[in-house]
Structure 1
């Protein structure tokens, strides 16, 4: 690791610095038309169903990314934190299957859905980043998804009518705005900051910002894939 560990004095924590460095890309992700459609209930149902099926495949690959984080951990605490991420995702899969069934997608159908190009591009980028780099590189690549969904959920939940019975996507919004998922995001963010405390140098920040930017853009592409139902 080049340089000395980065002090956060006057700079905020790493996640906020990464967001600030990639502000236009971050805004395009968290305020994508797909997201706005969830908030006001105007998202076409078929777009949401396409997204749900691809998100199932996405979660499988993210479980593998967290398994890689176990390998990349330098301490038992880091390995345990990453292992808890694997368990959380695998536990979430059963909940996701039930959500999909509520939208007419059976477990058997989910097993046969091919990965869309946007799904492959995003998930393999995250895994490749982890393979090539260290734990901090991987955590930065994961952060736009894990922490970003909590921000999106909270923002949507605060919009008038988003949680009303007339919005078909209110359960999705409530899930990511809820305390359970906020705690997942807080733990992930805390792990990122703990990792940065021992691995981050000022000279390294620009490269991490590049990882964060690319992952954020791929998140926006994932929304776009859902919106247009691209394969």
Structure 2
């Protein structure tokens, strides 16, 4: 039996492929992604994750059960772990301090994506918010699994640490939990009647993810 997330991916299949098979990902897999592109992506993703933590706090505010509250708490914990990893990588690879990262302005593509997600949560319900979050949360697990063989065959791969994190058992379980939670929210009722509306939210967020990769490439060219 297909999950709601499977149905959303199918409805936005073209956008999903553009996101998960973007040139940024292809170059990362091949190990040819310019270091400047990865640096710019990590800086912007740090800012992105701060706003995603706000989105999970909004999940807590809109919670209708202890399960929802626990999910929000776990999500914020995972995001804080990711942000610390970004700070660590940016320091080790590029010599950037936390102050350097904080002082870098958000890119317009970053602002557009994160505020879209927050708006989806503020104006909608928990299902709307989780659907807006899902391309990032679940898509990174899919990308990590796809890129894992590149790391397995090359321990010196320049992006081995990033790929290993998102292909790890821990992150794969995070994504599986997200899929299950979306189904649980849909089971509360109304998802079929609202499917067209939910697809629009999912499609917009997926396009924003592809634009985020492109932002990394574009910022590197202009740096």
TM-score by length of 2: 0.94
1:68 aligns with 2:58: yes
Query: Aligned ranges for residues 161-176 of structure 1 at < 5 Å?
Result: 164-176=154-166
Structure 1 residue 56, shift from structure 2 partner: 0.5
Whole-angstrom CA distance in 2 between matches of 1:63 and 1:77:
18
Structure 1 residue 227, shift from structure 2 partner: 1.0
Partner of 1:17: 7
- Ranges of 4+ aligned residues in structure 1 off by more than 6 Å: none
| CA offset digits 1:59-91 (Å, max 9, x no partner) | 100000000011112112112211211122123
CA contact (8 A) 1:40 1:162 kept: no
Deviates more, 1:188-197 or 1:20-29: 188-197
1:143 aligns with 2:134: yes
Aligned residues: 220
Higher helix share: 2
Structure 1 residue 187, shift from structure 2 partner: 1.6
Whole-angstrom CA distance in 2 between matches of 1:46 and 1:101:
14
Partner of 1:29: 19
CA contact (8 A) 1:39 1:162 kept: no
CA contact (8 A) 2:127 2:185 kept: yes
| CA offset digits 1:42-61 (Å, max 9, x no partner) | 11110110001001101100
Whole-angstrom CA distance in 2 between matches of 1:142 and 1:93:
17
Structure 1 residue 162, shift from structure 2 partner: 6.6
Unpaired stretches in structure 2, ≥5 consecutive residues:
none
Query: Aligned ranges for residues 111-130 of structure 1 at < 5 Å?
Result: 111-130=102-121
Unpaired stretches in structure 1, ≥5 consecutive residues:
1-8
RMSD: 1.5
Partner of 1:59: 49
CA contact (8 A) 1:156 1:162 kept: no
Selected match of 1:44 from 15, 34, 46: 34
TM-score by length of 1: 0.91
